[in-house]
Amino acid sequence: CRKGFKALPLDSIPGLSHERKPTERYGSSIRQLLQRSPADHDRLIRTPPLVSVIIPTYNHGRFLPDAINSLVGGPTSLGHMPGQTFQSFEVIIVDDGSTDNTPEIAKELADPWKGIRYIRRRNGGTPAANNTGIKEAVGRYICMMCADDMREPWSLNDLYQAAVRNPHSVIYDEPTLIQDGKRGELFSVAGYDFGTLLERNMMHMGIMFEKQAWQEVGGYREQMKHGREDWAFNVALGERGYC
């Protein structure tokens, strides 16, 4: 659907009929696959996306087209971007009571066929917006993203593959600075060390983690609506072994 193909429910495709016994949950082909590879159950029948990208925004409507098009493909300030090589994701834009033209822009970008949702809430600060989006997310993994950021086409895939290889972990990467429509220098970030994290946050906001981890730590600290909520969240993750 993101590439422009039409999609129809099976029962509305002209000329097609498909019957299944009331007692059968799956068709014969998928049953055989599940019997041969029971460990692949989740991969074979999963319908929800694996990753939910959460984009909180407050008066950053002008940046949203770049952020969204870096994910699904389209024109950006860096030129045309093809979209992510990893496609099993949804996007949830959370508008934290913006007073600019964010609602108009976000509503224009929202598209259920492309897996892009828009939620507007009363202003409560970034941590509350983060929690609102994650609460609505259906992905097994959460990827946070600032409204004025973009992701390289390979970015989600690299984060997801690292998460799979390293269960019960938090995943982060190195950002490239953008200025005047051009990629600048790579912003080097420190390697993870929990002792250092207690004194200085080495991770930017755009981390990936299991939604279960967010549940375990009780979400982002909403009382920290004036900043450093990501640092507090990272410390809470580390306390529970998500290093």
pLDDT band for position 117 (cuts 50, 70, 90): very high
pTM of the full structure: 0.88
Three-state DSSP string of the chain: CCCCCCCCCHHHCCCCCCCCCCCCCCCHHHHHHHHHCHHHHHHHHCCCCCEEEEEEECCCHHHHHHHHHHHHCEEECCEEECCCCCCCEEEEEEEECCCCCHHHHHHHHCEHHHCEEEEEECCCCHHHHHHHHHHHCCCCEEEECCCCCCCCCCHHHHHHHHHHHCCCCCECCCCEEEECCEEEEECCCCCCCHHHHHHCCCCCCCCEEEHHHHHHHCCCCCCCCCCCHHHHHHHHHHHCCCC
Each residue of 148-193: pLDDT tens digit?
999 999 999 999 999 999 999 999 999 999 988 899 999 888 899 9
Is the pLDDT score of 14 beyond 90?
A: no
Q: Which residue has the higher pLDDT, 58 or 6?
A: 58
pLDDT band for position 99 (cuts 50, 70, 90): very high
Q: Which residue has the higher pLDDT, 33 or 145?
A: 145
Instruction: Tell me the percentage of the chain whose pLDDT exceeds 70.
Output: 100
Mean pLDDT over the full length of the chain: 92
pLDDT band for position 12 (cuts 50, 70, 90): confident
